[in-house]
Amino acid sequence: MPLVAHSDLPTFERLRQEGETVLPKDHALHQDIRELHIGLLNMMPDAALAATERQFFRLVGESNQIAQFYVHPFTLPQLERGPEGQAHVERYYERFEDLQREGLDALIITGANVVGPELAEQPFWEPLIEIIDWAYEHVTSILCSCLATHAVLQFRYGQKRRPLGFKRWGVYSHRVVDRQHPLVLGVNTRFDVPHSRFNQIDREQFEAAGLPILAESETAGVHLAVSEDGFRIVFFQGHPEYDTVSLLKEYKREVTRFALGEREDYPPFPEHYLGLRAQAILEEYRDRLLGALERGDPPPEFPEALIAPTLDNTWHDTAEAVVNNWLGKIYQVTHHDRRLPFAEGVDPADPLGLRR
């Protein structure tokens, strides 16, 4: 069943225009269908706030489980925002205190931009820990994306992420390593996932923490893992929620930073993402940009419109399948009263029955 447009958040109309099914709240109230309420803790900076919001809303809305999906976006006041981002949050986002009182069935936590190598020194560190501790006791399952995965591995399992010394950036092939786990049932045994990060939690660290690994890449490392009970926390280290053009827009931002003198080197291409034609266009653009900078002329327009139609999306169907499996299991094991995380007869230590 579809997303329910329970507020005037612009994302609902944007998804509707893209062809997604979005149910008006008045219509939803007249359907005798169970609701699932999912929190979205969006910690992304202003430039990616709405895009990240849409990406996760889309994945949830494309699930085919028999439920109405209410997604509740919220953020942390400790994150610095500009006037436009703050206005968006104040108008459309909810307060965590209200969501605590009403209860949630599940929680998604996005990544975030950080300054400096130490997560524990970030302004969001303590409030993020408080939210995850609350969710672990009151929410059926938590899905952590990228930096959120690194944060949970550090404060809950004592495993600090490792600086790579470079940016892991591109689209990488992954292999399912536990084909029996409910989260990957029906998923292709090999699939792609975008990654974009400077740090990594290694396989040995997941194993030391006792966390089952479900999918990994020979190049990019572990992407999908779960908590000891197999379900309470789901860890993404990549970005399966990304749009087809997300890495292109990141590349454009890095090129712009170079043009403004904010980075010394010209950014490399994201790996395994651009075709030969796209690379040729961007190499020609680089020469034009370098020439303009040398002459003191304004930078030429970035050829995004020429590149975007050449890009392939080789990851979204698998991302949709994994999230569909996740929501399906939440529907099966969660309590109808969303203030209680599990239905009667479900063992909180083994909600999926993996140890039977």
Catalytic residues: 146, 239, 241
Choose among 238, 159, 234, 225: nearest CA to 197.
Answer: 238
Angle at 53 between CA 272 and CA 315, to 5 degrees: 25
**Interacting residues of 100 by C-beta distance below 8 A, sequence separation 6+:** 134, 138
Six-digit token string for 242: 């990304």
The radius of gyration of the chain's CA atoms, rounded to the nearest angstrom, is 21
**Interacting residues of 289 by C-beta distance below 8 A, sequence separation 6+:** 255, 259, 299, 300
DSSP 110-160: -----SSS-GGGSTTHHHHHHHHHHHHHHSSEEEEETHHHHHHHHHHH---
Instruction: Indicate the helix (H) or strand (E) that contains 195.
Output: strand 190-200
Six-digit token string for 257: 């930073």
297 exposed, middle or buried (CB, 10 Å; 0-12, 13-18, 19+)? exposed
Q: Is 69 helix (H, G, I), strand (E, B) or coil?
A: strand
Q: Which residues of 97-120 are buried (b: 16+ CB within 10 A; e: fewer)?
A: eebeeebbbbbbbbbbebeeeebe
On whether the CB atoms of residues 78 and 123 are closer than 8 A, the answer is: yes
Six-digit token string for 293: 């900078």
> What is the distance between the alpha carbons of residues 71 and 334, in angstroms, rounded to a whole number?
16
> What is the distance between the alpha carbons of residues 149 and 237, in angstroms, rounded to a whole number?
6
- Percent helix, strand and coil across the chain, each to the nearest 5: 40, 20, 40
